[in-house]
Every structure is written in structure tokens, then in C-alpha cells.
């Protein structure tokens, strides 16, 4: 069976282990690439890997510096991102 190259937003969120709302925030901000096929909003599977790779490289860079985080999943003390 050929692996799917386009995922629905819900499938992409599940693959990342996040909720649909946060997935739409990542798509809307351009942090995760998406495409439209007609009216269907789809996420290329390789866009998820690129996003994770970017998070990992930023995380490794942040380990050597002090200060704030660029992690989109990080919540500060008041519960806001």
C-alpha cells in the first residue's frame, strides 16, 4: 500500500499529538505548510517532518542560550502562548 502524502487537518494533528485548534493555529501562522485541493484543506506529510525538524534544531540552539522559547507548545505561567 502506498503511504498517503496528503493528510487531513485532523490526521495531521493526531500525527503530531496535538489538538485540532493548535493545528489550525500552526497552519494559519505558516509554521506548518498546507495546501487546498479544491475546498479541502490538506497537510503534506513531509511538511509535518519539516516542522518537527525545525523544532528540534531550534531546541538545540536554545539549549546554548538563555531566555525565551520559540516553542509553539510552550505556555507561560499565565497559561498563554
Q: Map out the domains of the chain as residue ranges.
A: 6-59
pLDDT at 7 over 80: yes
Number of H helices, E strands in the chain: 3, 3
pTM: 0.72
Centroid of chain to Cα 11: 12
pLDDT at 69 over 60: no
Q: What average pLDDT does the chain have?
A: 86
pLDDT digits (tens, 9 = 90+) for 28-43: 999 999 999 999 999 9
- CA-to-CA distance for 26 and 5, rounded, in angstroms? 19
CB atoms within 10 A of CB 13: 22
Q: What is the CATH number of domain 6-59?
A: 1.10.1660
6: closest CA among 53, 39, 47, 54? 47
Determine what percent of the chain is predicted with pLDDT higher than 90.
Answer: 67
pLDDT-based confidence at residue 73 (cuts at 50, 70, 90): low
> Sheet holding 6-8: strands in order across?
6-8, 40-44, 35-37
Amino acid at each position: 500500500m502506498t503511504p498517503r502524502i496528503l493528510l487531513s487537518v485532523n490526521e495531521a494533528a493526531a500525527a503530531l499529538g496535538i489538538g485540532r485548534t493548535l493545528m489550525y493555529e500552526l497552519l494559519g501562522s505558516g509554521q506548518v505548510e498546507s495546501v487546498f485541493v479544491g475546498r479541502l484543506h490538506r497537510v503534506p506529510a513531509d511538511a509535518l517532518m519539516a516542522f518537527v525538524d525545525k523544532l528540534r534544531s531550534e531546541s538545540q540552539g536554545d539549549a546554548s542560550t538563555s531566555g525565551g522559547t520559540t516553542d509553539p507548545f510552550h505556555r507561560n505561567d499565565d497559561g498563554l502562548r
